[in-house]
Amino acid sequence: MTSEQEIVSSSPNEQQKSYASTCPCETHLARTFAEGIFSYDVDTLFELIFGDNSFSRTYHDSQKLLEYTIGEWYINNETGKRERQVTYKTITQSILGTNTIFCNEKQIVEEEKSHSIYIVRTDVYNEGMRYTDAFFVSTQFCMIQCDIEHSSLRVSAEIKYVKNVNAIAKTFIEKNANTSIEGGVNNLIRRLIKQQDKINNRDSNRKQISILKQRERKTRDYSTSQDEKKNDAILNSIISSEDEVVLNEQTTTGKNLAYSIAFCCGIFLLILHTYLCYKLHSIDQALYAPNLTCLNRCKEGLLFY
């Protein structure tokens, strides 16, 4: 069964960059269990599946993988590729009873290029049950960056035998192994889609919050602008009133000064007029006195004769 899901997300300003249109692998393993496109970049997709994080730990727990231990990545000196060992155990139930299977998984990064491509192969060897030493399960994860927003994932797997087994045993092995692989891959795809939706919703909510904040900011700026205009109008009105008062005061002061000057000039002219009148009167008195003296002397002379 093939699980496929494509979800489109938005991203600003797509960069001019060439992306792989198809998987560069020449061949894949016998059966493809999942193929889909996700709105993760390829680095995020790789980390979700093979990183030690809450997503991968939750997935391993859901698969009932016990005592899951991840080794450190190291470079194989012969191949030059990154490798690591992962060990865990799981409990299975079958017609033969309940069994604890010990699993030793070797993970090999066959090809990697940051922001572009990751090809990872895992080989799982089992112990603890009949026929488990006769085969191992090889799984290949092809992760390709499709464009700036999306990456693709293809999961193929194959049961490889290291010992000869009869047809009945082979049928039993392949039926159980394929069922286990299909269940695990489908579980992984569902969780990737759920995580993707969660991220998209979070991004959408962030965008909505950003839009609301911008609207609030614009509304606040508009209100502030209107308030500033009102305040400016009131301030201009007050300034105009104050200017009118100052102008009126200056006009009144000017008028009062003119009145004062005119009054002072009037007083001065009145004093000057009084003074001149006094001087004229004094002159008249001076001229009148000699004439009167001469007249009196004439009268006295006449009387004498």
Cross-strand bridge partners of residue 84: 107
CA-based nearest residue to 40, from 236, 192, 263, 212: 192
- Output b/e per residue, 276-296; b: 16+ Cβ within 10 A: eeeeeeeeeeeeeeeeeeeee
Q: What is the per-residue DSSP string for 185-219? A: HHHHHHHHHHHHHHHHHHHHHHHHHHHHHHHHHHH
Cross-strand bridge partners of residue 160: 136
**Domain residue limits, the chain:** 31-213
- Output b/e per residue, 6-25; b: 16+ Cβ within 10 A: eeeeeeeeeeeeeeeeebeb
What per-residue confidence (pLDDT) applies to 14?
A: 46
What stretches of the chain show up as alpha helix (H) in DSSP?
42-50, 54-62, 167-304
- Across the chain, which distance is largest between two alpha carbons, in Å? 204
Q: Under DSSP, is residue 222 helix (H, G, I), strand (E, B) or coil?
A: helix
Q: What is the CATH number of domain 31-213?
A: 3.30.530.20
What stretches of 25-140 show up as alpha helix (H) in DSSP?
42-50, 54-62
pTM for the model: 0.65
What per-residue confidence (pLDDT) applies to 266?
A: 79
What's the CA gap between 87 and 66, in Å, rounded?
9
Token pair of 298 as six digits: 């004439």
> Each residue's pLDDT tens digit in the chain (305 positions)?
444 343 333 344 445 577 877 888 989 999 999 999 999 999 999 999 999 999 999 999 999 999 999 999 999 999 999 999 999 999 987 776 788 999 999 999 999 999 999 999 999 999 998 899 999 999 999 999 999 999 999 999 999 999 999 999 999 999 999 999 999 999 999 999 999 999 888 765 566 566 666 767 776 766 667 777 777 777 777 666 656 655 565 666 666 777 778 778 878 778 877 877 877 777 767 666 555 555 566 555 555 54
Close Cβ partners of 115 (under 8 Å, ≥ 6 residues apart): 41, 42, 43, 145
What per-residue confidence (pLDDT) applies to 205?
A: 58
